[in-house]
Structure 1
Amino acid sequence: MGCEEEVMKIKKKLDKMTSSDSDQTQALDILKVLQGLPINFQVLSKTRIGMTVNALRKASTDEEVISTAKQLIKNWKKFVPDKKEDDEKEGKEEKKKDKEDKDKKSNSNGNSSSTSKSNAKPTTIPAVPPTTDSLRLKCREMLVNALKAGDMPDDAIDSPDFLAEQIEDAIYQEFRNTDAGYKNRLRSRVYNLKDTKNPQLRENVLRGAIPPKRLAVMSSEEMASNEMKALREKFTKEGIDDHQLAVAQGTKTDLLKCGKCSQRDCTYNQMQTRSSDEPMTTFVLCNHCGNRWKFC
């Protein structure tokens, strides 16, 4: 069994323990099993086990369970791409921010650029140029709300505000204006990020699996959930099969009986759908009720 499958099985067990009144007697043993698995960023992204472990940590009253869960989350954060801030650096940034907040209070004439700089989160992605365009600012606000439309993953690489600026600026740089093309591109990003049936897209953006510039140019098919992609593939295959049957003239026969209307007015076609050494598949159409079936 692969690591991802094992983690998914463990996740289902832990999901049942995340309420405060649930049976958590096996929680510690399960967390220790997780510690021994070769979990990487891809497994974390696909299974979302980090969110489940964090929920268990919040629901548990067992100190050992809480401590083990915290250690697992801390170890997993190291797998996030471009996540270079360690605890010591975060402490320095907090002190720096406190100092800047004090300076801001003592200086009532502080400009907006210094305020923005003091609130910026450390990141490896360069900041985008500021804008005063009311439409662009509104679009950034819509993206921020879409990115916040759900639980924030513990391993998010940046704030929703910063990522929203990156996405909007990438779209603007492509169109160089705020016309219909720009607006339509923004709307599709917002719609897909807020889609409750496709939470993986929003989480992948927050975790850095999908960079802002990549999201800015993705097609609707690329942003779709795995279930929607499978459904589209199924519809495409069925459409091709129907087209092939419509193109073939077929042979009428009264030897076959429709199982739906019991009539013997049928047309059949034979197609090689498997390897050449296998028998052909026979597709039958009832000319009376339109029922279709196949047999080998």
Structure 2
Amino acid sequence: RTPSSPLTPTFASSICLLAPCYLTGDSVRDKCVEMLSAALKADDDYKDYGVNCDKMASEIEDHIYQELKSTDMKYRNRVRSRISNLKDPRNPGLRRNVLSGAISAGLIAKMTAEEMASDELRELRNAMTQEAIREHQMAKTGGTTTDLFQCSKCK
């Protein structure tokens, strides 16, 4: 005699580590809150601030959802961007500012990638922008054209 299999497949339900008060009822939103909370806990910094990361993650997610009104790709990309920036080991200042309250949940939900960037990356972008501007500027004075003198940009 062969063992029989159940008529309907059984699936293990996804384990959510959040307290029920932070659940939204939407599986996508709940997973985003869970991932944001994990990003806030990426270091042990959150213990120094005595912050409830689940609550803060829920607030960040809610601000994003209230602005975009759906869980489409734009919503997912916005959440993904926040997660990667909060987890970035080269940008611990952002996570610390969020945990300390210097950057509110509403503000981080709306920040651009440039605003979330580390100081080092901002300086690099600024230097590259200045260099690109300098390279594309024309000489300020026309003067007489000659091949006896070359300006510093033409060397």
Gap runs ≥5 in structure 2: 1-18
Partner residue in 2 for 1:197: 90
| Alignment of structure 1 residues 68-107 onto 2, 5 Å | none
Separation (CA, whole Å) in 2 of partners of 1:247 and 1:181: 45
Separation (CA, whole Å) in 2 of partners of 1:185 and 1:250: 52
Q: Which of 133, 158, 161 is the aligned partner of 2:54?
A: 161
Q: What is the number of equivalent residue pairs in this alignment? A: 137
Partner residue in 2 for 1:214: 107
More strand by share: 1
Distance 1:187 1:251, change over 3 A: farther
Partner residue in 1 for 2:43: 150
Q: Please, what TM-score do these two structures have when normalized by structure 2?
A: 0.77
- Select the structure of larger CA radius of gyration: 1
Considering Cα pairs closer than 8 Å and 6+ residues apart, tell me whether 1 or 2 has the greater RCO. 2
- Report deviation, 1:245: 3.6
Task: Kindly indicate whether residue 154 of structure 2 is the aligned counterpart of residue 285 of structure 1.
Answer: yes
8 Å CA contact retained: 2:39, 2:87? yes
Gap runs ≥5 in structure 1: 1-114, 118-127, 257-265, 269-282, 287-296
Task: Kindly indicate whether residue 144 of structure 2 is the aligned counterpart of residue 241 of structure 1.
Answer: no
Q: Secondary structure at the match of 1:216?
A: helix
8 Å CA contact retained: 1:157, 1:208? no
Distance 1:178 1:248, change over 3 A: farther
In angstroms, what is the RMSD of aligned CA positions?
A: 2.4
**Aligned residues with identical type, % of pairs:** 49
Partner residue in 1 for 2:69: 176
* CA deviation vs aligned residue, 1:254-294 (integer Å, no higher than 9, x gap): 445xxxxxxxxx4x3xxxxxxxxxxxxxx3413xxxxxxxx
